[in-house]
Amino acid sequence: MCVIVGMTPSEIYLIRKSFASLSRHEHVAALVFYRRLFELDPGLRALFKGDIEAQARKLLDMLAALLSLLEKPHGLEVELREMGARHAGYGVRTADYETVGRALLDMLDETLDEEFPPATRAAWTSLYGVVQATMLEGAAGRTPAAI
C-alpha cells in the first residue's frame, strides 16, 4: 500500500476513525470550525461571501474527498495543488494556513473530545502539514515536493 510519505498506516487509520466519529456530528463540527476560525482571525470572514452553512457542508465534503485519497499520493497531490491555486485566487494568504490548521485541530478537539487522544491529534497535525505544504506549492505554482 502506498501512503503519504511520513504517515504510517496506523496514523491514517486514526484519521479515518476520527473522521467517521466526526461525521456523526458533521453539521455542528463544521460550524465549530468556522466559529473558531473567525475567533482566531476575524478578518478571514471577508473571504467567505456565501452562506456559511453551505460553506460548512463544502468543508466536510472536501475533507472526505481528501481522506479518500490518502493511499493515492499522486491523486492527493494533484487535488491539493489545485485547491491551493484556487484558494490563492480567493485571496488566501500563506499565514492563513496556520490559522486554518489551528481551527481544524481545535474543532476536532472540541467536537470529538475523548475520541481525540494525543496520537490522533498528532496524526491530524502531520496530515495537515502535508496539506498546507502542498496547497502552498499549488498557490505559488511551484513544482511539487514528494508526498
pLDDT of 94 reads 94
Is the pLDDT at 145 greater than 60? The verdict is: no
Q: Which residue has the cell 465534503?
A: 61
- pLDDT tens, position by position, 31-69: 999 999 999 999 999 998 888 888 888 899 999 999 999
Q: What is the pTM for the complete model shown?
A: 0.89
pLDDT of 5 reads 59
Grade residue 4 by pLDDT with cuts at 50, 70 and 90: low
pLDDT of 78 reads 93
Q: Which CATH superfamily is domain 9-140 in?
A: Globins (1.10.490.10)
Domain positions in the chain are 9-140
Alpha-carbon distance of 86 to 73, in angstroms, equals 20
